[in-house]
């Protein structure tokens, strides 16, 4: 890769180890993958989800309005960001957490130029609180931040090996795509990625790679050119 700046999106489900709450083993595994690619010279920005704590789509079950639930979800991403920052710093990595909602006691406000400067200085930047607005997913926040910082790729680390025609956990005989175009994802409602995030990447020419971040070494292999996961691009 000539452009060594990437945006990595990690879901709350991954960080929670598929369960509710914080999973120290999952955070450690993810941090080790991040450290490995940072050590070889990649500039890394990260967007984390908060689904291991709360998701906005749970608003009906919680008996609150969707906007309030989404703001609660933003705070959940901040909790995950601070924990990931702590794990990375224990590994000797210099990090910054930047939040789209103001929490100046614990995180910097998100300022695009400042974020880019942190990356240029070799710091790992963790973007918290989504876009700062309700009704937008952290996938969309990841795509937006990737565009803003000039990342070459939007990488989504999941628990599965890529994009499938159905849910590989629940369905048999589903097809895995090694390569797929943006429009096919949107048309077929392949929900491993939010449609608005896919549209943003399409409009701005940012390729997406979906891969299993829990398999040791996969992130590094993907960035060094091995054909793992699924590449989302303009041509099928």
How are the residues of the chain apportioned to helix, strand and coil, as percentages rounded to the nearest 5?
Answer: 40, 20, 40
Alpha carbon distance 31, 48 (integer Å):
12
Tell me the pLDDT tens digit for each residue of 7-48.
999 999 899 987 888 999 999 999 999 999 999 999 999 999
CATH assignment of the domain containing 199 = 3.40.1160.10
Tell me the pLDDT tens digit for each residue of 90-112.
999 999 999 999 999 999 999 99
Number of domains in the chain: 1
Give the residue among 46, 151, 146 at the shortest CA–CA distance from 88. 46
Give me the domain span that covers residue 182: 5-233
Tell me the pLDDT tens digit for each residue of 151-210.
989 999 998 889 988 777 777 788 889 999 999 999 888 878 889 999 999 999 999 999
Alpha carbon distance 46, 50 (integer Å):
13
- Sort 172 into a burial class: Cβ within 10 Å, 0-12 / 13-18 / 19+: exposed
Contact (Cβ atoms closer than 8 angstroms) between residue 80 and residue 16 = no
Average pLDDT, the chain: 91
Output the pTM of the full model.
0.92
| Count of all residues that appear for the chain in the document | 236
């Amino acid at each position: 890769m000539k452009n060594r700046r990437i945006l990595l999106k990690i879901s709350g489900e991954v960080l929670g180890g598929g369960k509710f709450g914080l999973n120290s083993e999952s955070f450690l595994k993810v941090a080790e993958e991040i450290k490995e690619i940072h050590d070889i010279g990649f500039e890394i920005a990260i967007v984390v989800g908060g689904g291991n704590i709360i998701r906005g789509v749970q608003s009906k079950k919680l008996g609150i309005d969707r906007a309030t639930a989404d703001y609660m979800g933003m705070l959940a991403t901040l909790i995950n960001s601070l924990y990931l920052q702590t794990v990375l710093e224990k590994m000797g990595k210099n990090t910054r957490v930047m939040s789209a909602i103001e929490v100046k006691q614990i995180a910097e406000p998100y300022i695009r130029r400042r974020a880019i400067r942190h990356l240029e200085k070799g710091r790992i930047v963790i973007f918290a609180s989504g876009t700062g607005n309700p009704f937008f997913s952290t996938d969309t926040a990841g795509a937006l931040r990737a565009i803003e910082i000039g990342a070459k790729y939007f990488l989504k680390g999941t628990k599965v090996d890529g994009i499938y025609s159905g849910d590989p956990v629940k369905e048999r005989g589903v097809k895995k795509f090694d390569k797929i175009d943006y429009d096919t994802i949107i048309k077929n409602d392949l929900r491993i990625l939010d449609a608005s995030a896919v549209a943003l990447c399409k409009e701005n020419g940012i390729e997406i790679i979906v891969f299993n971040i829990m398999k040791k070494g996969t992130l590094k292999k993907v960035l060094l050119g091995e054909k793992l996961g699924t590449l989302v691009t303009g041509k099928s």
